Structure 1
Amino acid sequence: MPEEDLVEIKFRLYDGSDIGPFRYSSASTIEMLKERIISEWPKGKSVIPKSATEIKLINFGKILENSKTVAQCQIPFGELSAGVMVMHVVVQPSQTKTKAEKKIDESKKFACSCCIM
């Protein structure tokens, strides 16, 4: 892999800590980066992503699509070619509820109350 084809990226988490920096090919996809983030996630954090779908990567104010490559996400100016690219990581846990949680929600839905004066 040619040296100029590699991009150094670190991932900034919600609490200001970092994962990386790591070197990636500019042909690597955002999906591949998300999988690496999950495998390198620090122990002891209060928020832990379970899958890549729970992670959003933000670079220069834009949420990156899974199908895009690192090369497509770089800024066009090129002033960071010798530096480290920083991507911000946002974790959005999925909203799927367990059966027990659904039953509790349904029981609240049909509750009524009376007040006799």
Structure 2
Amino acid sequence: MSGTWTFVCAPSELLPGEMRTVFDEVTDAPILVVNLDGDLYALEDRCSHEDYELSAGPVDPAEGSIECVLHGARFDLRDGRALCAPAYSPVAKFPVRVDATGIWTRDDRD
């Protein structure tokens, strides 16, 4: 597990309903950061059903989910769990840190 945080953007650059993607500075994992009504969540930007970027899909703010455009699998932005078939496995959830200098995330898997 890396203690290195990856810079996403300035806090003012990620408004509610918006998302940003970055690659972890250590593991190179694709990370999707979403502003869901002012709360920030980070998930691996890779559908667990088929290796496809979740960031290409729409966010449903009411449900708090994102949909993979490839086959329609949906994932909860808050915890990464799969909400419907064809995905059954969750996607990795990562920590988010916000300070005066920016929004930060990291791949904290062992």
Q: What is the TM-score normalised by the length of structure 1? A: 0.28
Hey, which of these two has a bigger chunk of strand by percent? 2
| Structure with the largest fraction of helix | 1
Q: Highest Rg: 1 or 2?
A: 1
TM-score between the two structures when normalised by the length of structure 2: 0.29
